Structure 1
Amino acid sequence: MTPAAGPLPDFDNARLFDADPQVLADPHPFYEAARERGPIVREPHYGVFVVTRYPDILEISQRTDDFSAAVSAYGPWAVDVLPRRPEGCPFGEADVSDELEAWRGETPFGFIPVLTADPPRHTDLRSVANRLFTASRQQEIEPRLREMAEEMADEFAEDGEVEFVSRFSSLYPFFVITELFGIPREEQDRLREQFRQRSAAGVTSRPEQSDNTAMRDRIRNERAPGTDPADSLTPNDRQFLDYMRDRRAHPQSDILTQIATARFRDGTLPELEELVEVSSVVYGAGNGTTTDLLTNAMELLAREPDLQAHLRDEPGEIPAFIDEVLRFASPVQGLFRYAKRDAVVDGVQIPAGSVVWLVYAAANRDPERFEEPATFDPLRENARHSVAFGHGPHFCPGQPLARLEGRLAFETLLARMGDIRIDEAEFEPRWPAWYVVRGLESLPLTFTPRSP
């Protein structure tokens, strides 16, 4: 599958962060326009440095002394509350690292710490997350995860039609992560709604309604100097805190217990408040981005009947298919970094205090790294080298689980669904008006029932 080529759009007039309908429909021409402009370009509306080339993203991701994760998913809206570069300071001399740490000290919880922390704090928090999805753990949970996929698919397998997002791709990751966390069934619906509301804060799928003021106000309120850390905990954070208090006192064989009883690298037992966002982030990431992975994969598969037949005959190639989906239709478009000091990357000067957007989806189509990058090729040998899960210290710790869910889901679905097609009469492509993640909000399908 190769998208139709055409003239590149006007990058200067693109509203990358303001729900521009053209960008939402297909952001890749805008990413390509940025890459053609230069290695790193400054978009004109918010002054964000846009990084689209594969090696530059690898470099910035590793340079944690120069680039902080403090802005992570918030991007341009965090600029109002972050330290500014001193005026009149010659390039090469500005350094706002101390001001950034002072700002963190005033508001220790507002942003999600594990996503926005820098070493050494991030290293400690990440050491906890790294232990959750080991190879042995994956092997242990695979039979149950396969059973869950089969149970869910069997509910519509004989219908011949299904709205895929509401009936499978949003439910399967949710129930997987919820069961792995050991959350009681009677509390799952409430928790799911809390996460849905949290994810939607400041984000709407209706461009005419999306000026991002809600997100901007949320950031300002959460990061106000003197804010009590407890006030920054969301309702689901508080719920996870209660869960972990219980698990520390009464350990079980679930992820919450692993987090609650984990020790840092030096052997110290963290305060539970330090770990609550680890649980919250792992739980949330295990929902949304995997939903988008499954949805994007099914959209691509539904347009390729020969590929469907091939993967049914050769299910061992489904992991390669998943890897190419991650490269070609990356669920996470990109995350942000904040320049702590004046830096030069690929010959481009980035002043201290600047916001930098690492566009993973663009790097995954960098022609210098991937041959014919705009072509979907499930046999691509280097697809697994994409940066769909980020790179460096913030590389996603849940990627083994996402890949496992993708493999089990499509082994299950292809065994039960033949001649999968998009129901074009019902299909209205719509994406969330957010620049961080990308996945269809609905995907109506028709298919021929098959016996597994």
Structure 2
Amino acid sequence: GARDGTVDATHAVGIALVLFGAAGESTASLVGNAARLLAEQPALAARLRAEPALVPRFVEEVVRLEPPFKGHYRAVRRACTLAGAALAPGDRLFLAWASANRDAAVVEAPDELRLDRRFPKRHMGFGRGSHFCIGAHLARLEGRVVVEELLARTSDVALDPARPPAYTHSMFVRRHDRLPLVVRAAAD
């Protein structure tokens, strides 16, 4: 079992389902949120077209501002006090990643998308420590490639004014159900 480092077949299947499900959700969320932010901020899209080396920093800011997962539950392991609240072993907390990523005590100008942050990967968008997302590197790569290709193949990306975006109704996932875009192809 868990204490001796072995995993039985039932738990292995459960772990695999979580990993594959999370991988699809995180990438879909990241790509959709990136496309929406580019559509809302044409000057930013133009800057990234002119300076594609900034795309990885943009991807980090997307994950920081609009993390693919709104948060996760965690169980308190030992008695402690958090922000003046006494917590006992077994208490459950919901850790809201977007809220943590916008903490003004930690992040300068937390509500701004900035490509010049000193430590662009210092955010909770992919978790931290033993709960750090095992697929974060792949999600970053996929996000970077999709954004680079979207910018390279278009001269303009905008939201469709007749059809507003809509998010999936979920306590955990921040993903678009609908993201109608108006796209103008790049001149060849």
Q: TM-score, normalised by structure 1?
A: 0.39
Matched, 1:334 2:51: no
Q: Give me the whole-angstrom Cα distance separating, in 2, the residues matched to 1:451 and 1:120.
A: 60
For 1:398 and 1:120, the matched residues in 2 are separated by: 25
1:435 aligned to 2:171? Answer: yes
- For 1:364, give the aligned amino acid: N
Amino acid of the structure 2 residue aligned with 1:366: D
CA–CA separation in structure 1 for the residues paired with 2:10 and 2:173: 28
User: What's 1:69 paired with?
Assistant: none
Tell me, yes or no, if the aligned pair for 1:324 and 1:377 is still in contact at 8 Å: yes
* Cα distance in structure 2, aligned partners of 1:286 and 1:368: 31
Letter in 1 for 2:155: G
Residue 300 of structure 1: CA displacement?
0.6
Counterpart position of 1:425:
162
Query: 1:450 & 1:433 partners in 2: Cα distance?
Result: 34
Q: Deviations over 1:169-193 (max 9, x none)?
A: xxxxxxxxxxxxxxxxxxxxxxxxx
- Quote the Cα distance in structure 1 between the aligned partners of 2:168 and 2:95: 19
Percent identity between matched residues is 35
Shift of 1:404: 0.4
Is it true that 1:446 corresponds to 2:178 in the alignment?
A: no
Normalising by structure 2, report the TM-score.
0.90
Q: Which residue of 94, 99, 103 maps to 1:362?
A: 99
Q: State the distance in 2 between where 1:318 and 1:326 align.
A: 12
C-alpha contact (below 8 Å) 2:155/2:187 kept by paired residues: no
C-alpha displacement of 1:272: 3.7
Structure with a larger share of its residues in strand: 2
Q: SS at 1:369's partner residue? A: coil
Q: Which consecutive segments of 4 or more residues in structure 1 shift more than 6 A?
A: none
The aligned counterpart of 1:415 is 152
SS of structure 1 residue aligned to 2:182: strand
Q: Distance in 2 between matches of 1:307 and 1:278?
A: 39
- The 5 A counterparts of 1:274-423 are 274-423=11-160
- 1:423 Cα offset (Å): 0.6
Per-residue CA shift, 1:116-139, capped at 9, x if unaligned?
xxx757xx5xxxxxxxxxxxxxxx
Cα distance, 1:393 vs structure 2 = 0.8
How many Å apart are 1:278 and its aligned residue?
2.8
Distance (whole Å) between structure 1 residues aligned to residue 162 and residue 38 of structure 2: 18
Q: Which piece of structure 1 moves more, 335-344 or 277-286? A: 335-344
SS at match of 2:166: coil
Residue 371 of structure 1, CA deviation = 0.5
Does the 8 Å CA contact 1:365/1:374 hold for their aligned counterparts?
Answer: yes
Tell me if the contact between 1:415 and 1:451 (Cα under 8 Å) persists in the aligned partners: no
Per the alignment, in what secondary structure is the counterpart of residue 426 of structure 1?
coil
Deviation at residue 446 of structure 1 after TM alignment: 0.8
**Which secondary structure does the structure 2 equivalent of 1:441 belong to?**
strand
CA distance in 2 between partners of 1:326 and 1:355 (Å): 25
* In 2: Cα distance, 1:284 partner to 1:433 partner: 17
Q: Is the 8 A contact 2:48 2:54 kept in 1?
A: yes
How far apart are the structure 2 equivalents of 1:348 and 1:275? 36
User: Is the CA contact 1:335–1:357 (under 8 Å) kept in the aligned structure 2?
Assistant: yes
Distance in 1, Cα, partners of 2:140 & 2:129: 19
Counterpart contact for 2:103–2:110, Cα < 8 Å:
yes
Between the two proteins, the alignment pairs up a number of residues equal to: 188
**Structure 2: any 5+ residue segments left out of the alignment?**
none
Following superposition, the deviation at residue 435 of structure 1 comes to 1.8
Offset at residue 340 of structure 1 (A): 4.3
Task: Report the CA distance between 1:276 and its aligned residue.
Answer: 1.8
Q: CA deviation at 1:451?
A: 4.9
Tell me, in whole angstroms, the C-alpha distance in 2 between the residues paired with 1:345 and 1:383.
26
Secondary structure at the residue paired with 2:93?
A: strand
What are the ranges of 5 or more consecutive residues in structure 1 without an aligned counterpart? 1-107, 109-118, 125-263, 265-269
CA contact (8 A) 1:416 1:450 kept: yes
**Mapped contact 1:292–1:439 kept (Cα < 8 A):** yes
When the two chains are superposed, the root-mean-square deviation of aligned CA atoms in Å is 2.1
Task: Supply the distance in 1 between the matched residues of 2:148 and 2:23 (Cα, whole angstroms).
Answer: 20
Distance 1:443 1:394 in 2: 30
Mapped contact 2:167–2:176 kept (Cα < 8 A): yes
